[in-house]
Structure 1
Amino acid sequence: MSGGNSGSGTSNTAGRSGTSTMDGTGGTLGNGTGGRASTPATGGAAPAAAPERRLLRGLPWLVWRRHRTALSIGLLVTLGACALFAYERIGVMDFLDAKGSSPDAKGELLMEFQDKFNSMFSSDTSFLQFVPALVAIFFGAPLIASEQEHGTVKLVATQSTGRGRWIAATLGLPLAIAVLCTVLLSAAFTWLWSPARELAMFGDWLGGGAFESTGPVLVAMTLFLTSCGIAFGMLIKRVVAAMVATAVFSAATSLIWTEKVRVHLGTLRNYTYPFDGEGPVTPRGSIQIDDWLATADGKLFGINTCTSPEATADACRAKLGIVNRVIQYLDYPQMAGMQWLGAGILLALTVLVLGFVLWQAHRRPL
Structure 2
Amino acid sequence: MSTVTRTPVQQETSFAGRRRLRGLAWLMVRQHRAALIACTAATVIGAAWIIHERGTMLDSLHAAGWPAKPVDTLDPDMVQRLDGSFSDVARYIGYLPLLFGVFIGAPLISADQEHGTARLVSTQSVPRLRWLLWKLGFALGLVLMTTGVLGALFGWWWRAVRPVVSSTWLDGTVFDNSLPVLTALVLFTTTLGIVVGALVRRAVAAMTVTFFVTAAALLGADYFRNRLATPRRVAFPLDGAHPAVLTDAVQVDQWVGTASGKVYGWGTCVNDAAPEACRAKLGIVNSVWDYFGYDQMATLQWTAAGLLVGAGVVFVAVAVLRTRRTAL
Q: 1:319 to 1:172 in 2, by over 3 A?
A: same
List structure 1 runs of 4+ shifted beyond 6 angstroms: none
CA contact (8 A) 1:103 1:198 kept: no
| SS of equivalent residue, structure 1 residue 288 | strand
The AA in structure 1 aligned to 2:197 is G
CA distance in 2, matches of 1:199, 1:252: 31
Aligned to 1:349: 311
Higher relative contact order (CA 8 A, sep 6+): 2
TM-score (norm 1): 0.80
Cα distance, 1:151 vs structure 2: 2.4
Q: How many aligned positions are there? A: 323
CA contact (8 A) 1:215 1:336 kept: no
The AA in structure 2 aligned to 1:100 is W
Cα distance, 1:133 vs structure 2: 1.1
Alignment partner of 1:127 is 2:96: no
CA distance in 2, matches of 1:358, 1:94: 50
CA distance in 2, matches of 1:349, 1:63: 25
The AA in structure 2 aligned to 1:121 is F
The AA in structure 2 aligned to 1:146 is A
RMSD: 2.7
- Between the aligned residues of both structures, percent identity stands at 37
TM-score (norm 2): 0.89
Cα distance, 1:322 vs structure 2: 3.0
Alignment partner of 1:363 is 2:328: no
**How is 1:1-366 mapped onto 2 (pairs within 5 angstroms)?**
49=14, 51-98=16-63, 99-101=65-67, 104=70, 107-109=72-74, 111-200=76-165, 202=166, 204-207=168-171, 209-260=173-224, 262-275=225-238, 277-282=239-244, 283-311=246-274, 313-314=275-276, 316-318=278-280, 320-366=282-328
Cα distance, 1:143 vs structure 2: 0.9
CA distance in 2, matches of 1:130, 1:102: 36
| SS of equivalent residue, structure 1 residue 270 | strand
CA distance in 2, matches of 1:138, 1:228: 12
CA distance in 2, matches of 1:110, 1:258: 32
Cα distance, 1:104 vs structure 2: 2.4
CA distance in 2, matches of 1:167, 1:341: 29
| Structure 1 residues 275-313: Cα deviation after superposition (integer angstroms, max 9, x where no partner) | 3x23534533222221112232222222233343332x5
Q: 1:161 to 1:259 in 2, by over 3 A?
A: same
Gaps of 5+ in 1: 1-14, 29-45
Using the TM superposition, name which of 341-350 and 292-301 deviates more.
Answer: 292-301
Q: 1:50 to 1:142 in 2, by over 3 A?
A: closer
Larger gyration radius, structure 1 or structure 2:
1
